[in-house]
């Protein structure tokens, strides 16, 4: 169904308002127009590109919450966090993250995204990875977006917290990790 420019732009504003992390490509598919049309619409409506929207959300809502490391040291962009419960980050795989010969992402980037998310979700000034069990379930390629979801599964009395991280491209899991995190203030907290 073909929409007028005004109608499409109104729906574009609503869609981005509901999900500020939607990509131009996803919007183009949704509205059956070119990516260039979406970019022109965003420009006309003064809607920043995805990276700027993510940065704005992170700076405005998350930087005060995260205690264990500065937000600029996190691999990927945290888009949601509830300390000691769960967190979500996104990581766009670019040319510099892949092997040149085959376009497959280097595993240490996916691990770094998951590990830094596991650190960030800890409600403590000091959180360190004590142990990690990881499994890569499929290769990730250049231009794919990895969404990592961390969930605190156990806060132990021994000063260790278990964090499970699952990473997805679309609906397909590409990485799974169980991180045992050391934290310094567990005794001070009501667990």
In CATH, 68-188 is 3.40.50.620: no
> What is the predicted pLDDT for the residue at 75?
87
> What is the predicted pLDDT for the residue at 104?
97
> What is the predicted pLDDT for the residue at 17?
82
The answer for 159, left when phi > 0, alpha when psi is -120 to 50, beta otherwise, is: left
Instruction: Tell me how many degrees the CA angle 82-21-173 measures, rounded to the nearest 5.
Output: 70
Structural tokens at position 111: 């691990």
Q: What are phi and psi of 11, to 5 degrees?
A: -65, -35
> What is the predicted pLDDT for the residue at 189?
44
70 contacts: CB under 8 Å, gap ≥ 6: none
Topology of domain 5-47, CATH = Arc Repressor Mutant, subunit A (1.10.10)
pTM score of the predicted model: 0.67
CATH 1.10.10.10 segments of the chain:
5-47
Q: How confident is the model at residue 191 (pLDDT cuts 50, 70, 90)?
A: very low
Q: Would you say residue 64 has pLDDT above 60?
A: no
């Amino acid at each position: 169904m073909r929409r007028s420019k005004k109608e499409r732009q109104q729906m574009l504003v609503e869609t981005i308002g509901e999900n500020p992390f939607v990509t131009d490509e996803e919007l183009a598919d949704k509205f059956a127009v070119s990516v260039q049309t979406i970019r022109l619409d965003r420009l006309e409506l003064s809607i920043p590109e995805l990276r700027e929207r993510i940065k704005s959300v992170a700076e405005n809502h998350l930087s005060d919450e995260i205690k264990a490391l500065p937000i600029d040291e996190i691999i990927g962009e945290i888009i949601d966090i509830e300390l000691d419960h769960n967190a979500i980050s996104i990581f766009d795989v670019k040319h510099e993250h892949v092997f040149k010969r085959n376009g497959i992402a280097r595993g240490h980037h996916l691990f770094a995204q998951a590990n830094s998310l596991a650190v960030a979700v800890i409600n403590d000034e000091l959180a360190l990875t004590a142990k990690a069990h990881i499994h890569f379930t499929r290769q990730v390629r250049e231009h794919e977006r990895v969404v990592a979801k961390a969930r605190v599964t156990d806060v132990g009395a021994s000063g260790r917290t278990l964090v499970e991280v699952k990473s997805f491209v679309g609906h397909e899991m590409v990485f799974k990790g169980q991180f045992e995190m050391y934290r310094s203030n567990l005794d001070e907290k009501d667990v």
